[in-house]
Amino acid sequence: MAAAVEARRHNLDVMVIDEQATPGGQIWRSVEMTRRRDEVLGPTYSEGRNAAELFRACGANYRPNAQIWQLEPGFRALFTSEGQVGMVEASKLLLATGAQERPAPFPGWTLPGVLTVGAAQILLKNAGEIPADPVWIAGSGPLPLLYAVQLLRAGGQIAGYLDTTPKARWREALVHLPAALKAPGDLLKGLGWTSMLRRRVRVIRDVCSIEAVGEHRITKLRYRSGSGPEVAVPAGLLLVHEGVVPSIHPALSMDCTLKWSAAQDCFVPVLDAWGESSVDGLFIAGDGAGIAGARAAQCRGTLAGIRAASKLGRLDSTSAERVAVPSRRRLARELAIRPFLDALFRPRAEVYAPADRTVICRCEEVTAGAIRAAASVGRPGPNQVKAATRAGMGPCQGRQCGYTVTRILAAMQDRSPEDVGFFHIRPPLKPVTLGELATGIGCATDDRQEGEFRSNDSHVIE
């Protein structure tokens, strides 16, 4: 949204293709819809309404409810919207595809009644919906703390909070505390959430393993804390979360260079100070550029918008540098707390070493044991394992199993995750039917000449 607003400020022709029905991304999801949830969701959420208003008024061609399934160099994007195929060409491309929750497989994680914490928060934002009965929350990171507080404010009940942050993380995070103190507001907010939780909810610390048990839905939860015995409790709903990782599928499909971030335990695109990737004219902003939150996303979007305008000759490089100063300053402030948060909430080792019986590919129902069996023949990479087991071949295209396959191979072959790499990502990025494809016949030739598909200076995907 920020990139579109900035690009429009310099009179670029902008199209924004959004998978969702309304602007806001994940953090400000459904922010335009209702003010009745403001008190529950808090001020950081409602400040997104202003951003959405600016975006609506900026004059970009906004295409909600549209799914991109192919990106091509140069650039061309093919998408589906309301059953019809669309195509757009643009000289600059910005990927603002955000983040997804880190897949953290454990036995029973595919059972109905097990959701991510992010999913529950989306239900609250989009539908004003909370768990009907006391809910178990298991995980680590700012999001489960924030959701727990929002749920209590909304009158919901928490059966128990299983904190999976390893004990040692506090010590590891301390060295980054001085830098984090530059953003005391965020630290205080976090402390406030923790103390509210401690007062009102049963918190079990240092939880190292969880298991959901049930036949057609979760009925029981098993967990182990530290070196203690396994505990079993009745549970009808379990929310899990082990941090977030950038959505890298579109960037991978365009062959952007990615590197391994040891601090955030994931791949991140290699970007310059404007957010431009290794592919000339292709920018990445928001959490897709590395996890940093909504405010940092706005700064990065603005910077990319400035640079796109500059490259298209709308302002010279000296003016671009000058205009960029406030956003750069704000971005530095927003990033100050990250090393502390990254160290504190670094996932426990168990997340990457699921037991053999655990399903790791939700779509094709492939277990960790099957991956290990395939990996024991020769020295395969992720793509060979995919071909041998079908893990990563289902509709989600490895969004839920990619990292687990990489980490299992890395552990077995004594290599780094960076060296092992990720699945090769090909189109379609999202499923597209033959019927939808048929609506696009002639798209690339006749219609373009008739001017139905506009050529854009800049083109943004959210």
CA dist., res. 121 & res. 359, Å (int)? 25
Question: E strands along 226-362, which residues?
Answer: 230-234, 238-242, 244-246, 258-261, 266-269, 282-284, 359-361
The residue within the footprint of other proteins, chosen from 110, 257, 319, 416 (CB under 8 A), is 110
Residues within window 57-86 making contact with other proteins, judged by CB under 8 A = 65, 67, 83
Residues within window 379-398 making contact with other proteins, judged by CB under 8 A = 394-396
Spell out the residues 6+ positions from residue 278 whose beta carbon is closer than 8 angstroms to its own.
256, 257, 269, 270
Which CB sits closer to other proteins, 296 or 366?
366
Would you give the binding string for other proteins spanning residues 236-265, x where CB under 8 A is met?
xx---------x------------------
Output the smallest distance, CB 426 to other proteins, in A.
17
**Can you read off the two tokens belonging to residue 447?**
């219609």
Output the smallest distance, CB 399 to other proteins, in A.
4
Q: Which stretch binds other proteins (CB under 8 A): 29-37, 174-182, 306-314, 437-445?
A: 29-37
**Can you read off the two tokens belonging to residue 25?**
């991304």
Which CB sits closer to other proteins, 217 or 322?
217
CA dist., res. 408 & res. 371, Å (int)? 8
What pairing do the DSSP bridges indicate for beta strands 84-95 and 76-81?
antiparallel
Query: Is 21 an interacting residue with respect to other proteins (CB under 8 A)?
Result: yes
The residue within the footprint of other proteins, chosen from 307, 362, 386, 459 (CB under 8 A), is 362
The separation between the first and the last C-alpha atoms of the chain, rounded to the nearest angstrom, is 8
Output the smallest distance, CB 214 to other proteins, in A.
10
The residue within the footprint of other proteins, chosen from 33, 179, 203, 388 (CB under 8 A), is 33
Do 275 and 285 form a contact (C-beta atoms < 8 A)? yes
Output the smallest distance, CB 216 to other proteins, in A.
5
Residues within window 129-168 making contact with other proteins, judged by CB under 8 A = 129-132, 154-155
Would you give the binding string for other proteins spanning residues 200-239, x where CB under 8 A is met?
----------------xx------------------xx--
The residue within the footprint of other proteins, chosen from 49, 72, 81, 119 (CB under 8 A), is 119
The residue within the footprint of other proteins, chosen from 115, 159, 320, 460 (CB under 8 A), is 115
Output the smallest distance, CB 192 to other proteins, in A.
22
Query: Is 363 an interacting residue with respect to other proteins (CB under 8 A)?
Result: yes
Coil/strand/helix, residue 91: strand
Residues within window 288-347 making contact with other proteins, judged by CB under 8 A = none
Per-residue DSSP letter, 349: G
**Can you read off the two tokens belonging to residue 283?**
């920018």
Q: Which stretch binds other proteins (CB under 8 A): 160-168, 193-201, 315-323, 362-370?
A: 362-370
The residue within the footprint of other proteins, chosen from 44, 126, 219, 455 (CB under 8 A), is 126
Q: How far is CA 184 from CA 178, 192, 331, 462, in A?
A: 10, 12, 15, 30
Q: Give 326: exposed, middle or buried? Use CB within 10 Å, 0-12, 13-18, 19+.
A: exposed
Per-residue DSSP letter, 72: E
Q: Residue for token digits 């191979």?
A: 409
Output the smallest distance, CB 124 to other proteins, in A.
8
Maximum Cα–Cα distance across the chain: 71
Beta partners for residue 88, in sequence order: 77
Would you give the binding string for other proteins spanning residues 37-56, x where CB under 8 A is met?
x--x----------------
CA dist., res. 28 & res. 363, Å (int)? 29
The DSSP code sequence of 142-193 is: HHHHHHHHHHHHTT--EEEEEE---TTHHHHHHTTHHHHTTSHHHHHHHHHH
Query: Is 19 an interacting residue with respect to other proteins (CB under 8 A)?
Result: yes
Residues near other proteins (CB under 8 A) = 19-22, 26, 30, 33-34, 36-37, 40, 65, 67, 83, 100-101, 110-116, 118-120, 122-123, 126-132, 154-155, 216-217, 236-237, 247, 362-365, 394-396, 399-400, 431
